[in-house]
Structures are given as structure tokens and as C-alpha cells.
A and B are shown apart, each in its own frame.
Chain A
Amino acid sequence: MRRLTSIALLTATLALAAPALAQVRAPDGAPNPTASSVNEEMLFKQDPKIHGRISIPNATAANLIQPQGREWRAFRESWMPWIGALAVLGMIAALGLFYFTRGRIRLEHSEESGKKILRFNGFERFSHWMTASCFIVLSLSGLNYIFGKRLLMPLIGPEAFASLAQYGKYAHIYLAWPFMLGVLFMLVLWVRDNIPGKIDWIWLKQGGGLIGDAHPSAGRFNAGQKMVFWMVVGFGLAMSATGLMMIFPFAVTDINGMQAMQVIHSLIGVVFIAGILAHIYIGSLGMEGAYDAMGSGEVDLAWAKVHHDLWVKEQQAKTASGPQLGRGQVPAE
């Protein structure tokens, strides 16, 4: 019985397949060679891009048609300028609004004003500023890829703009290396002090001193600074990975992968720039006394006690002679 069923099934299958096997003939009766030939429509149904074999030693040239290029174009030309403008200008507007409502966060004077405590040593500051200076050039040359032809080119003309963009491209490629090194240095230097803890949650709930006048406790880095640290590390590594793939195109991925890399690189890039704008604001204009930490490396002890009380206690406990005093400072008796 089972055998009979299988024979019946086989016959039915053959009967169904028979018309497809029949030869389609040309008007003159010759066999039609395209009856089984590939065509564009059929290949696009199998795969979003048409790929074949090529005899030259260039694997990327074996793609015949990749219509995804048009989708990538739509992202780059229709979406990206708006996303970029919204991220960067939106952050500048938000910071402006914050400055005019909250104003500069002032240094609160106490009997310890004038005394200094070392916050960042020479190597820490070197790593920070190497990364920071590279970041500024990288972000400007990066934004130039999106906005240059729209804003700068009409002002300075195509020739001057093209040579500027050429130097911008060189700067973007070459300064990427010290930037990546800087991110790695900072990761090693500060990861210990940036592990999130319960205290960060309390800091966040109290508005971190940004909203209201509270001064929640914080260790060497408060929750806000930890967020900046993890943003720099996370985004920095993501930008490095995607950027390296664009410096070495097609080394690890195909054309659609390259398009995706560019999309990720540009999207993270503009959010990164917005985040760093906030970091620059609070580290300079936004808070009195904050800049010294990365400037001279020594901060006012009064400022440190208000903003990083737990860290100051820790530092004072480490040295029997009190706080680590900066150069030219007489220890208090």
C-alpha cells in the first residue's frame, strides 16, 4: 500500500514538472537559449543584489548591480543632514537654554578655598587633551562630509573647498590613530573609578546638582562624569571599529556592510559630538573651578569637597600629611 502511494506521488510530480521541461522554441523553430537563462528580475528575487564571477582579481567588482546604493544615498542625502543638524544644533540650543536659566554653577567658598588638590596627573591630562584635540579636528572634518558642500562650498567656492576637504580627509584618517590611542589610554586610566554603583543612583535622583542646589556625594567621578566616560569609551570604540573598516575598505565586509558602517559611523558621530558639547560646556563655562582639573591638574580643595567629597576623603586618608598638595602650596597646620 505504501509503495503504491509513493508511485502515485512520483507520477503526479513528473506530470506537474513536464510542461516546464518542454522546449520553448524561437519563431524559426530553433531552441530558445533563454528558456533557462538568467534574467534581472529573477535574480533580484533570489538576492537583493546581482553577483557573479569575475576573472580580474578584485572580488568587489563581481557585483553586477546593487540597488542598495540608492537606499544608502537616501540616508546620506535626505536623512543624515537633518539628523546631524538636529543633534548638534539641538544640543547647542539646550545648553544655551540651560545657561540662561541655571546660569554658571559658582564656586562655593569655604575656609579651604585657595588650597589645591591634585586631581589629574600629567599623563592623565596628556591622554585627555590628545584625545580631545583629535576629537575636535575629527568632528569638524567629519561634519564637513555632511555639511561642507551645503554651507561652506557656496561661501568659498568649489576649488578652495575641495582642497580644504582634501586636507580634512587626511586629517580625519591620520588623527584617527592618536584618537584611538587616547581612548584606550583613558579606558585603562579611569575605568577603575568609573564602575557604576549605588551612590550614582542617589546622585542621579538628586539631579546631580545640575537641577536644584543639592550636592549629592560622589567619588572621584560622579554619575554624570561616569556617563561621559562610558560614552567616550563606547562611542570611541564603535567609531574606531567602523572607522577602521572604512580606512581598510572591503577588508572584512562587502558593499552592503560598508554602507552599514558608514551609516553607523555618521549616526554615532553626530550623537558623540552632541554629548561632547555638553561635556565641554560643563567643564568650562558651565561650572566655575571645573576647568582647573584638566588645565593645571589641581583643583580648589573647597570645590573638590563640594563636588567629590568621597574622593577627597579617600585621598586624605591615603596621605598621612593630609591632602595631596599641589606645587607651591604650604600645607595647612
Chain B
Amino acid sequence: MARMKFLCDADRCIECNACVTACKNEHEVPWGINRRRVITLNDGKPGERSVSMACMHCTDAPCAAVCPVNCFYTTADAVVLHSKDLCIGCGYCFYACPFGAPQYPRVGNFGSRGKMDKCTYCSGGPEADLSVAEYEKYGSNRLAEGKLPLCAEMCSTKSLLAGDGEMIAQIYKERVIKRGYGSGAWGWKTAYRETIAI
């Protein structure tokens, strides 16, 4: 089984936000929620870099650990998913997540949090694969169709890579060797306790 990961090659990201838009469209993500986002570091200064970030599908995921109702589970592909039927919208996973991945629709009085929504690595939720119920709650299930996450698939500069961790690390290594530089695999140390040694 593959160990699915994301890798954003910041030296290629042009902050076009197409990954953000593609994700919102593919999964019919509600207003105010962005499963993926692009953050620009050192904006306007020399050495500026943009990084596309969503759920990193951590090894030993902090969100799953702190959840008071244990609504998270990890699939055979090492994708971290959750059940919206169990989620109570307490907001703890957002405090624990190093990447700010969990999002909450604002429902009811006091803007109280609704059920959490986050990147599913385009692989739905606990419902039956490609069912209507799964689509309504979690969006499309591209993995079940044999496809990779849309954000990475349609990245115009191929900055965002998705797929088996070893494979995308290999692609990134080859790039770095060929061009002679690379600002590293952002977030890998925090998410997987490892980084890409070149």
C-alpha cells in the first residue's frame, strides 16, 4: 500500500491559487471554508516563497489524538479521514493541527462551530465509496476512481505533488539535483518526523 503525501515545491509555486479553486469546485466546499490555501512567506521581499497547504495527513495525527469523540481514522493509504456523523464541532483539532487544516462552517447562534471539514485527499469519508451521502458530506472520491487529488493533478507548474511519499520525494530530489537548489519539503518534519535528504 502506498503512503500518500503532499509535497509543495515552493520554488515552483506561483501563488495562482488554482489548487484552492479546484478543490472548492471539485468538492462543492461551502462558503467560508478552504480545504487548501496558499500562504506567501516574506511577501514582497527578496526570497519570497509561496506554499500551498492543506491537511498533510500526518503520521500519528494530532487531530485524531485530541478528538474527544474519536471521529478520525487513517485509511490503508495513510490518509487521515473523519466522520461528520460523529464530529461535534468542538474545535480541538484546529488547536492541535500544525497546519491549520480543520475548518468549521459557522452555524447557529454565537457563530458556533458546525461539523469539521478538511481535506480528504480526494478520498471521501466513511460512507460507501462514490455514494451520494459520501459526496454530500465530504465531496468527491477521486482515489476510489483511481485518480490522485485534483489540486496536485491540475497544478500548472507541477509545484504541488501528490502520491506515494517515496515516489514524490524521488521526483523532488531529482528536481533539486538538476536545478541545484530547493527550499525543502515544507511541513514534512512536523507531519512525518522526516525530511527529504538530498
Contacts and interface: CB of A to CB of B under 8 A. Distances in A.
B35 to A, nearest CB: 11
Interface in A44-84: 50, 52-56, 58, 60-70, 72-73, 76-77
B39 A258 contact: no
B157 interface: no
Contacts of B46: 36
B59 interface: no
A55 B47 contact: no
B68 A148 contact: yes
A63 B95 CA distance: 12
A38 B111 CA distance: 37
Interface residues of A, number: 61
Contact of B41 (A38, A67, A72): A38
Contacts of A67: 98, 190
Interface stretch (A25-33, A88-96, A319-327): A25-33
Interface residues of B, number: 57
B90 interface: yes
A70 B97 CA distance: 8
Contact of B99 (A37, A64, A68, A248): A64
B34 A61 contact: yes
Interface in A258-280: 258-259, 262
B183 A72 contact: no
A37 B45 CA distance: 9
Interface stretch (A107-115, A157-165, A210-218): A157-165
7 contacts: A37-B11, A38-B42, A53-B43, A61-B37, A64-B186, A162-B87, A247-B112
Contacts of B40: 52-54
B171 to A, nearest CB: 18
Contacts of A248: 110-111
A148 B69 contact: yes
Contact of A73 (B38, B65, B90): B65
B49 interface: yes
Contacts of B39: 52-54, 61-64
Given A144-B68, A162-B69, A32 B180 contact: yes
Contact of A69 (B43, B96, B112): B96
B105 interface: no
